[in-house]
Amino acid sequence: MNNPHRIVLASDNCAGVHPRVMQAIAEANHGQVSSYGYDPYTQVAIQEFKKILGENIEVLFVSNGTGANVTALSSMIQPFEAVVAAQTSHLHEDECGAPERITGCKFISVPSQNGKITVDQIQRTLVRVGDEHRSQVRVVSITQSTEYGTVYTLEEIREIADFCHKNQLFLHVDGARIANAAAALGVGFREMLRDTGADAVSFGATKNGLMMGEAIIFFGKNRFPNAKYFRKQNMQLASKMRFLSAQFIPYLAENIWLQNAEHANRMAKLFYQKAKHLPITFTQKVEVNVVFAILPPEIIEPLQEKFYFYVWNEYTNEVRLMFSFQTTEKEVEKLVLELEKLLK
């Protein structure tokens, strides 16, 4: 539970709303407009996505990240088909079974140490194609950046996408932290997603400065024409949509996505630079805005008195420290100091 005196490193969704985004919301509160996305703000927001990703896309705004993942997948798959994703993925670990219950599909988990999966692993799930006793793999879902803070390179994404298309599979990207990945790679969304061959993206922004609302992007037109029905049936269609979509206008047009993501990534790296000499084990490469580390068990509770963060693995005492666009350098320094103190 929240304690206002603690510094928050539990999740980037504990952060607030970027002021420019808040301003856009306030400005959208003008007059009466059509509901359910047939309003001018939503149209402009879609145009902003097209400027970045190209004309040939479909954009659907939804209420939240789980809703984005499940609705994108619902639109791409039949209930007797299967989705392959890392065992560590949000789909498998953090959506309370929504993927299975709502799509009706089997979600096949592939072991992963760092949140990433490989073509070899996907290949091995493609057995008994056409056998009605087995759920037929139709979608591969990867997370960029991953739940473990690692980032697929463009080559890795392209290799997976190519493999998918050779095998009549679709590639879905869970982009809850897509901006952090793009910032880390120093590339744009078009290079990272469209040019590599992704078919659909859950384009997250809430963790990076929006208030709420995410976007589903499908590459290509009319490839998944049922998506609008699934958005409604999956309870993801906001009536006063303009207040979701308006947030994306400055976020995309004014590069807020990049500033916020670069800042958050920098805070994680700053912490890592300052803490790497300490007697703790860093369990993942620090590529974006999160650090995983094994702490001595006796310092975890004392540290939690001043810093709000999660123990990620109760068995190994691995903790997750998540930095947001609102984390300050001062907070990072306090964390390092406190760690140094406790580790003595």
In the complex, least distance from residue 154 CB atom to a copy of itself, rounded to whole angstroms: 28
Q: Does residue 79 interact with a copy of itself by CB under 8 A? A: yes
Site for a copy of itself contains 64 (CB under 8 A):
yes
Within 168-207, the residues that bind a copy of itself by CB under 8 A are 206-207
> Six-digit token pair at 295?
């702490």
Choice between 94 and 305, CB closer to a copy of itself? 94
Residue 15 lies near a copy of itself (rule: CB under 8 A): yes
Residue 160's Cβ-count burial label (10 Å; 0-12, 13-18, 19+) is buried
Contact 189, 52 (CB under 8 A): yes
Chain centroid offset of residue 32 CA: 33
Q: Indicate whether 34 belongs to the interface with a copy of itself (CB under 8 A).
A: yes
Q: Binding a copy of itself by CB under 8 A: which of 51, 165, 240, 276? A: 240
- Which lies closer to a copy of itself via its Cβ, residue 52 or residue 212? 212
**109 binds a copy of itself, rule: CB under 8 A:** yes
C-alpha distance from residue 4 to each of 7, 140, 303, 305 (Å): 8, 41, 15, 11
- Beta partners for residue 218, in sequence order: 58, 200
**Smallest distance from the beta carbon of 89 to a copy of itself, in angstroms?**
13
How many Å apart are CA 47 and CA 25, to the nearest integer?
17
Q: Which is nearer to a copy of itself, 265 or 326 (CB)?
A: 326
Single out the segment in contact with a copy of itself by CB under 8 A; choices: 12-20, 47-55, 155-163, 284-292.
Answer: 12-20
Beta partners for residue 85, in sequence order: 109, 141
In Å, what is the CA distance from 342 to each residue of 139, 280, 304, 306? 46, 12, 11, 12
Residue 1 binds to a copy of itself (criterion: CB under 8 A): yes
Stretch that binds a copy of itself, among 65-73, 162-170, 194-202, 274-282 (CB under 8 A): 65-73
Angstrom distance (rounded) from CA 210 to CA 249 = 11
Q: Does the footprint of a copy of itself cover residue 304 (CB under 8 A)?
A: no
Contact between 315 and a copy of itself per CB under 8 A: yes
Query: Which of 49, 61, 107, 309 is the binder for a copy of itself (CB under 8 A)?
Result: 107
Question: What strands, in cross-sheet order, belong to the sheet with 136-143?
Answer: 57-62, 214-219, 200-203, 170-175, 136-143, 81-86, 106-110
| Residue placing its CB nearer to a copy of itself in the complex, 53 or 84 | 84
Number of residues that bind a copy of itself (CB under 8 A): 86
**Least gap, CB of 325 to a copy of itself (angstroms):** 10
Say whether residue 113 binds a copy of itself (CB under 8 A): no
Subset of 39-58 contacting a copy of itself (CB under 8 A) = 39-40
| C-alpha to C-alpha distance for 231 and 227, rounded to whole angstroms | 6
- Work out the widest C-alpha separation in the chain, in whole angstroms: 61
Rounded-to-integer distance, Cα 311 and Cα 292, Å:
10
Rounded to the nearest 5°, which phi and psi values hold at 65? -70, -45
Contact between 20 and a copy of itself (CB under 8 A)? no
Q: Is 221 in the site for a copy of itself (CB under 8 A)?
A: no
The single residue among 82, 142, 249, 335 that binds a copy of itself, judged by CB under 8 A, is: 82
The rounded radius of gyration (Å) of the Cα atoms in the chain is: 20
What angle do helix axes 256-275 and 178-185 make, rounded to 10 degrees?
A: 70
336 forms part of the interface with a copy of itself (CB under 8 A): no
